[in-house]
Amino acid sequence: MSVHIYPDSKKPDEASEALRRVAVGKPIVIEEIFALSCSTAELEEFMRSSRGIACGWVGHYDGTPLAELNALEREKKITIGQAMMRDWLKLFVKLKPEFMTERQR
């Protein structure tokens, strides 16, 4: 089973409740997740808290390497959208070791 979840700062429990509602004993993959309506820190908190239910997380990737986004940031040429993508990629890299299974290592 797969779901799209975008946590919302104004409704902090809504994403967790939605995830619990679809937990019917089958593996759940959050196939779309992003910090559209919350901070990166709130997204990280949600992702960590969802580990008891979800077995995978997928987010949009436009193909721009993190190194390129970091360079744009350093040069002060980064757009808001690029900054959001950069924060998302940094979070995904940060959580990778924690979220990988033993078989994936």
**Domain containing 68: what range?**
2-104
DSSP character at residue 11 = B
- Measured between alpha carbons, how far is 60 from 91 in angstroms, rounded to an integer? 13
* Model confidence at 102: pLDDT above 80: no
**Tokens representing residue 28 in the block:** 């759940």
Instruction: Indicate the pTM of the whole model.
Output: 0.89
* Model confidence at 91: pLDDT above 90: yes
SS3 label, residue 60: coil
Alpha-carbon dihedral sign for residues 48, 82, 29, 93: negative
The string of pLDDT tens digits covering residues 13-67 is 999 999 999 999 899 999 999 999 999 999 999 999 999 999 999 998 999 999 9
Give the chain's end-to-end CA distance (angstroms, integer). 24
Count the domains in the chain.
Answer: 1
- Measured between alpha carbons, how far is 101 from 66 in angstroms, rounded to an integer? 24
105 confidence band (pLDDT: 50, 70, 90)? low
Mean pLDDT, range 7-18, rounded to an integer: 96
